[in-house]
Amino acid sequence: MRNRIPSGETNEKYIISGGRKLNGEVRIMSAKNSLLPLIACSVMVNDEVFLSDCERTSDAENMLDIVRGLGGKCHFDNGGICLDCRHINGHKTNAELTGKLRSSVFILGPLLSRMHRADICYPGGCDIGLRPIDLHLTGLSSLGVKFTSEGERIAGECTELKGREVTLPLPSVGATENIIMAATMAEGRTVIRGAAAEPEIIDLQRFINMCGGKVSGAGTGRICVDGVNSLHGCSFAPSGDRIAAGTFMIGCAMCGGDVDIIGVDAAHVVSVTGLLRAAGAEITERIGGVRVKSSGNLRAPGRIETKPYPGFPTDLQAPMTALAASAKGTSYIIENLFENRFRHIPQLLKMGADITVCGRAATVRGRKLHPADLVAEDLRGGAALVLAALSADGTSTVSGLSHIDRGYYKLDERFRALGADIIRM
């Protein structure tokens, strides 16, 4: 049986005695938001693939199980993931798995490319608001796919995929990636206008090109994909997880201390760096990482507004809200991307936070937080509660660990290595 991470059942929780400074070094592994589309893309590769520096998050495990259910072979080995999808023979995904994982939608493009048909359930994941897949379906339809839906399932079919010009009304990361993958082996050229520019899309381009594809323009609003007949295998190193890096950066700033964060491109976290400097932390940018030094006595970072890359990422809004809640002064949080991404705020209120929410905006008046029993209701909100508990004097608990496990592997051990008092029970 594969060695999985703890299950995150309701009786599991972190017990955190806060108030300790963080010191040392933390190494950032491959970005979860890169890894999941890369695993899906491997379905198109008629050869072996190795993805290096991968953590066993529950999201990664679920995506691998989806690939196994289609006939692929994959396992963790030597700090990475080995995939062999030469004998893929299925086109219908497991309903339970896709219901757990928002990123299961990434399997659509690769399956349509390889099998010319796909049948999936509507994807699940954290309840942070409406995340419709309309842009995915519209973009894939432009390449010649016909979709039908019945109940919770969506089926797509095509005789062949043909390159077209696709214009996205919004820079959707997932839709951009799904269209790139479907277009990789389509006939002719596909041009995606209004494309998202996140570093994870650059990773996908690099991976496909290492496998023999022809993709250009990732990182800009216009991406070109010239179709090829097949893809060969490769060994690929995804970029470091900028969201995990940002989480540790914010945690060090809140708790105080001196932490080297290695394995991330400093340019990928520049929006976080700016806010932490405004709050009073000292950030040193290095090749392959950043160093954070902080007294823990922070001032309000001011206006925090989530935007598509290179703006401040929505995935770090909750951790930054936790920082603002414990900093001196008033901050303003504006969540532009998801309408239900303030679910962590009622938990912060248990700690004495002074936060007023109006629609997608929150006014945060910083004050000293006290310990409390907290419940994580989504992935990034759960990380925010851990940071708040680490910085507050006294003992807190954080339950709902299944959410946190989706994107952070052994988070307690990594903070404990920096000097935090945190255990999983």
Q: What is the mean pLDDT of residues 88-94?
A: 92
Walk me through the domains of the chain, giving residue ranges and CATH numbers: 13-28+240-424 (3.65.10.10), 32-236 (3.65.10.10)
Whether the pLDDT of residue 127 is over 70: the answer is no
Q: What is the pLDDT of residue 408?
A: 97
Q: What is the pLDDT of residue 102?
A: 75
Whether the pLDDT of residue 351 is over 90: the answer is yes
Choose between 120 and 2: higher pLDDT.
120
Q: Mean pLDDT lowest for which of 88-102, 118-132, 215-229, 307-321? A: 118-132
Residues of the chain with pLDDT > 90: what percent? 89
Report residue 338's pLDDT band, with 50, 70 and 90 as the boundaries: confident
Tokens of 228: 């090829």
Beta carbons within 8 Å of 411's beta carbon, 6+ residues apart: 383, 386, 404
Q: Mean pLDDT lowest for which of 60-74, 130-144, 155-169, 249-263? A: 130-144
* C-alpha 23 chain-centroid distance: 25
Closest CA to 247 of 274, 231, 269, 278: 269
Q: Where does 135-184 show beta strands of DSSP type E?
A: 146-150, 153-157, 165-167
Beta carbons within 8 Å of 100's beta carbon, 6+ residues apart: 62, 124, 125
Strand 153-157 and strand 354-358: the pairing is unpaired
Q: Is 302 exposed, middle or buried (0-12, 13-18, 19+ CB in 10 A)?
A: middle
pLDDT in tens, 24-74: 999 999 999 999 999 999 999 999 999 999 999 999 999 999 999 999 999
Report residue 124's pLDDT band, with 50, 70 and 90 as the boundaries: low
Side by side, the strands of the sheet bearing 257-262 are 22-27, 257-262, 289-294, 282-286
Whether the pLDDT of residue 129 is over 70: the answer is no
Q: Is 85 a catalytic residue?
A: no
Q: What is the pLDDT of residue 126?
A: 42
Q: What is the pLDDT of residue 100?
A: 72
Q: Is 422 exposed, middle or buried (0-12, 13-18, 19+ CB in 10 A)?
A: buried
Q: What is the pLDDT of residue 4?
A: 45
Whether the pLDDT of residue 273 is over 80: the answer is yes
Beta carbons within 8 Å of 351's beta carbon, 6+ residues apart: 325, 369, 370, 371, 372, 374, 388, 389, 392, 396
Angstrom distances, CA of residue 87 to CA of 36, 70, 78, 425: 20, 9, 23, 41
Whether the pLDDT of residue 151 is over 90: the answer is no
Taking the CA atoms of residue 205, residue 263, residue 305 and residue 339 in that order, the dihedral angle to the nearest 10 degrees is: 70
Q: What is the pLDDT of residue 8?
A: 44
Report residue 340's pLDDT band, with 50, 70 and 90 as the boundaries: confident
Whether the pLDDT of residue 1 is over 80: the answer is no
Choose between 127 and 242: higher pLDDT.
242
Closest CA to 405 of 32, 16, 82, 24: 32
Strand 146-150 and strand 13-18: the pairing is unpaired
Q: What is the pLDDT of residue 10?
A: 56
Whether the pLDDT of residue 92 is over 70: the answer is yes
In the chain, DSSP finds a helix count (H) and a strand count (E) of 14, 23
What is the pLDDT of the chain when averaged over all its residues?
A: 93
Amino acid (1-letter code) at residue 400: G
Selected catalytic residue, list 41, 126, 158, 234: 126
Longest dimension (CA), the chain: 63
Report residue 337's pLDDT band, with 50, 70 and 90 as the boundaries: confident
DSSP character at residue 122: P
Stated as kind and residue range, the H or E segment containing 395 is strand 394-399
Q: Where does 37-91 show beta strands of DSSP type E?
A: 48-51, 73-77, 80-84
